[in-house]
Amino acid sequence: MLRILSFCFALAASALSAEEVVLGLSQDQVAITTNFDGSEILLFGAVKRETPIPEEPLDVVIAVSGPSSPLTVRRKERKFGIWVNTDAVEIDAAPSFYAVATSAPFTEAISNVEDQRHKVSIPRAIRSVGAPMEVEDAQSFSEAVIRIRTDEGLYQLRENTVEIEQQTLFRTSIQMPANLTEGDYPTRIFLTRDGKVVSQFETVINVNKVGLERWLYDLSRNQPLIYGIMSLAIAIAAGWLASAAFQVLRRN
């Protein structure tokens, strides 16, 4: 009986891994320099199979997530002619950047059950355990984070942007804005059929400051006194140069 069960489990595992992702990246590192104004990452790959292509059409869902951190979201109301903070909700973790690209409309590419299991959609990528009892409509605070970061280009839902050829090759591109947070960016690729995840793959894109940007960042963290003195000296020098230039212009 034990051998039969082991054989059944082996068959199930083989069926689940019948399709696997072979992924490529145009670059797996993003360098933030002083003149960095964003980057475009090209993701391309293929589906490795040991069985014939199923009749059910294949969909691909790709999610790129930046470093997560907690934050406090406050609601402001106008009272006595001035804007004041009223309610506040603590968000346990929200990614600094989050982009989802799909080969079909999101709700067709992945089911709600699978989305809940893998936390693929933008709302489910934000973790908020609870809110104070006195706060009404606590969900609106998470929605405000999504709205603000979407306007800044930090949250992206790119439906129908993953191209699939012959149910085997796929490619898409992700726009990385200039205001990126340094760190590792986990990248997940899901193969789905009829909204169900049949295979997934994960890699990491590394985002780091380099050159002068890296040196100034390290100096501000490791030698704050020297960084402060240097910043003050630069400010004084810039002010003196501006004053001198103004005096020259007045004389002429």
Q: Look at residue 233 and tell me if it is in a domain.
A: yes
User: Do both 74 and 146 map to the same domain?
Assistant: yes
Q: What is the mean pLDDT of residues 168-175?
A: 89
User: Do both 151 and 238 map to the same domain?
Assistant: no
Residue labelled with tokens 């193969």: 191
Q: Look at residue 8 and tell me if it is in a domain.
A: no
User: Do both 52 and 66 map to the same domain?
Assistant: yes
pTM > 0.85: yes or no: no
User: Do both 176 and 65 map to the same domain?
Assistant: yes
User: Do both 230 and 204 map to the same domain?
Assistant: no
CATH assignment of the domain containing 196: 2.60.40.3880
What is the predicted pLDDT for the residue at 54? 83
What is the predicted pLDDT for the residue at 217? 55
Residue 247 has pLDDT above 70, yes or no: yes
Strands 155-158 and 98-102: parallel
Burial of 171 (0-12, 13-18, 19+ CB in 10 A): middle
What is the predicted pLDDT for the residue at 133? 57
What is the predicted pLDDT for the residue at 6? 39
User: Do both 102 and 123 map to the same domain?
Assistant: yes
What is the predicted pLDDT for the residue at 139? 76
Computed over every residue of the chain, the mean pLDDT equals 78
Residue 134 has pLDDT above 70, yes or no: no
Q: What is the mean pLDDT of residues 234-245?
A: 76
Q: Which of the given ranges, 75-79, 139-143, 169-173, 234-238, has the highest pLDDT on average? A: 169-173
Q: Look at residue 218 and tell me if it is in a domain.
A: yes
User: Do both 42 and 159 map to the same domain?
Assistant: yes
User: Do both 116 and 156 map to the same domain?
Assistant: yes
Q: What is the pLDDT of residues 111-122, one digit of tens each?
A: 999 999 999 999
Q: Count other C-beta atoms under 10 Å from residue 214's C-beta.
A: 16
Residue 181 has pLDDT above 60, yes or no: yes
What is the predicted pLDDT for the residue at 73? 80
Q: Look at residue 36 and tell me if it is in a domain.
A: yes
User: Do both 182 and 244 map to the same domain?
Assistant: no
User: Do both 131 and 247 map to the same domain?
Assistant: no
What is the predicted pLDDT for the residue at 16? 47
User: Do both 68 and 108 map to the same domain?
Assistant: yes
Q: What is the pLDDT of residues 186-234, one digit of tens each?
A: 999 999 999 999 989 998 888 876 555 555 555 566 667 776 776 777 7
Number of domains in the chain: 2
Q: What is the pLDDT of residues 49-97, one digit of tens each?
A: 887 888 888 999 999 999 998 888 877 666 666 766 666 778 888 999 9
User: Do both 50 and 75 map to the same domain?
Assistant: yes
Q: CA-to-CA distance for 192 and 52, rounded, in angstroms?
A: 16
Token representation of residue 106: 């999101």
Q: Look at residue 10 and tell me if it is in a domain.
A: no
Q: Look at residue 6 and tell me if it is in a domain.
A: no
Q: What is the pLDDT of residues 3-29, one digit of tens each?
A: 433 334 333 444 445 788 877 666 555
Range of the domain at 77: 18-209
Q: Look at residue 34 and tell me if it is in a domain.
A: yes
Return the percentage of the chain with pLDDT > 70, whole number: 71
Q: Look at residue 56 and tell me if it is in a domain.
A: yes
